[in-house]
């Protein structure tokens, strides 16, 4: 049945989420105007990689930046550098941090770093959780927005308090900014203003930005130099990273100005979900381009209905459903360019059908 939902989703020509299909055209579009004589980056050197690092470092307001193939690699390395600086292998993050649930325990297995889980899984971590830590930690990782709970955010004031408290306590504050670009409209702050609260920052280029893959880790010059050594150790210092770098640069320029639009569209879309009986979004009012949709019914009831709506409307709602609790299932929405391509009357009919679930 899950497979039916997935395959019906894959067949829909339109989707509520994303920037269009993840296919080879993503690469072809990014490269179509690039001179074929442009020289590859070579093991972290060369204009392609250096220029992009400088560009993003400046946008983030950090001294330097280094391009990584993945955020997994970048963030483990950031936390290891802080662990070494503070001579402490304990750090702290949210119980549903990407590092805790999606990385096969790489942080623990490769870096022997022991994370303390802050607060509880279903809510944001707070400054009180940090103040309540029973043992010293080298760093705290904050994910903005907290993806696994629908993309929730603390207020900017609380961020400032957390930052000040960590500084006072000698705790390094690291930003998991996988979706940093996507929260700038809510905070009404620049990337630089947000990043100024953090000692190190990771950002991604394949979520809202919609590039192929790739990440940037930014911080002080000596932090970044150390990160480059670890990047070599991890096998991330490829002879050529340009397929990711050039596409990251291309889609960054193409979509960075659209984040406000995605955010506004996400709020409207969430309203439409919340207007359906037995359906609610988390957060109720989105604070970025993303939110989760919860149904008051189990997967085996909702799955066939979504499949039906996919087939009838040609609009993909979701390719999967996750059991949240007994009788409650959910999926994630991330608004990108795709939503705009759906005709209003089609969307209207889709929500009429959803309202009848």
Residues 141-160 that bind a second copy (CB under 8 A): none
How far is 165 from 181, CA to CA, in rounded Å?
Answer: 25
From 212, 143, 132, 202, select the one nearest 169 (Cα to Cα). Answer: 132
Residues in 104-123 at the binding interface with a second copy, rule: CB under 8 A:
104-106, 109-111
Contacting a second copy within 199-218 (CB under 8 A): 206, 212-213
Q: Least distance (Å) from a second copy to the CB of residue 62?
A: 21
69 vs 231: CA distance, rounded Å:
9
Residues 303 and 295 sit within 8 Å (Cβ to Cβ): no
**Under the criterion CB under 8 A, does residue 28 sit at the interface with a second copy?**
yes
Confirm if 91 and 140 have CB atoms less than 8 A apart. Answer: yes
Interface residue with a second copy among 1, 2, 7, 21 (CB under 8 A) is 21
CB under 8 Å to 344, separation ≥6 — which residues? none
Q: Using only C-alpha atoms, what is the Rg of the chain?
A: 21
Dihedral sign, Cα of residue 177, residue 178, residue 182, residue 183: negative
Please name which of 57, 129, 52, 70 lies closest in space to residue 95, comparing C-alpha atoms: 129
**Residue where the block lists tokens 């009357």:** 345
Of 198, 176, 195, nearest to 187 (Cα)?
195
Nearer to a second copy, 252 or 273 (CB): 252
Q: Which of 164, 229, 285, 346 binds a second copy (CB under 8 A)?
A: 229
Least Å from the CB of residue 24 to a second copy: 5
The residue among 129 and 249 lying less far from a second copy, judged by its C-beta, is 249
Per rule CB under 8 A, count of chain residues that contact a second copy? 51
Strand, coil or helix: 21 = coil
Report, in Å, the least distance between residue 67 CB and a second copy.
Answer: 13
Residues 230-249 that bind a second copy (CB under 8 A): 230, 232-244, 246
Stretch that binds a second copy, among 71-79, 250-258, 286-294, 326-334 (CB under 8 A): 71-79
Does the protein bind a second copy through residue 3 (CB under 8 A)? no
Minimum gap (Å) between residue 316 Cβ and a second copy: 14
CB 213, min distance to a second copy, A: 5
Binding site for a second copy (CB under 8 A): 21-28, 31, 34-40, 42, 68-74, 76, 103-106, 109-111, 206, 212-213, 229-230, 232-244, 246
């Amino acid at each position: 049945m899950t497979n039916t939902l997935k395959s019906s989703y894959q067949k829909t020509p339109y989707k509520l989420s994303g920037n269009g299909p993840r296919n080879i055209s993503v690469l072809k579009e990014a490269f179509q105007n690039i001179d074929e004589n442009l020289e590859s980056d070579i093991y972290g050197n060369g204009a392609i990689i250096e220029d992009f690092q400088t560009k993003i470092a400046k946008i983030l307001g950090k001294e330097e930046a280094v391009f990584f193939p993945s955020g997994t690699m970048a963030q483990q390395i950031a936390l290891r550098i802080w662990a070494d600086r503070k001579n402490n292998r304990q750090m702290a993050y949210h119980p549903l941090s990407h590092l805790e649930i999606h990385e096969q325990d790489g942080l623990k297995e490769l870096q022997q770093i022991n994370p303390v889980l802050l607060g509880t899984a279903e809510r944001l971590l707070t400054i009180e959780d940090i103040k309540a830590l029973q043992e010293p930690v080298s760093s705290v990782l904050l994910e903005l927005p907290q993806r696994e709970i629908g993309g929730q955010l603390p207020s900017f004031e609380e961020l400032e308090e957390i930052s000040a408290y960590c500084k006072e306590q000698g705790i390094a504050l690291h930003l998991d900014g996988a979706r940093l670009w996507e929260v700038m409209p809510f905070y009404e702050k620049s990337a630089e203003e947000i990043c100024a609260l953090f000692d190190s920052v990771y950002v991604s280029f394949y979520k809202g930005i919609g590039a192929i893959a790739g990440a940037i880790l930014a911080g002080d010059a000596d932090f970044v130099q150390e990160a480059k050594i670890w990047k070599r150790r991890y096998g991330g210092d490829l002879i050529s990273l340009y397929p990711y770098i050039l596409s990251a640069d291309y889609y960054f320029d193409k979509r960075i100005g659209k984040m406000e639009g995605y955010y506004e569209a996400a709020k409207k879309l969430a309203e439409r979900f919340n207007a359906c009986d037995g359906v609610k979004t988390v957060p109720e009012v989105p604070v970025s381009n993303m939110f989760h949709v919860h149904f008051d019914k189990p997967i085996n009831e909702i799955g066939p209905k979504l499949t039906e709506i996919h087939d009838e409307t040609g609009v993909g709602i979701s390719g999967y459903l996750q059991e949240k609790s007994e009788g409650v299932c959910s999926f994630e929405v991330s608004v990108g360019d795709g939503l705009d391509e759906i005709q209003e009357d089609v969307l209207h009919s889709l929500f009429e059908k959803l309202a009848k679930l």
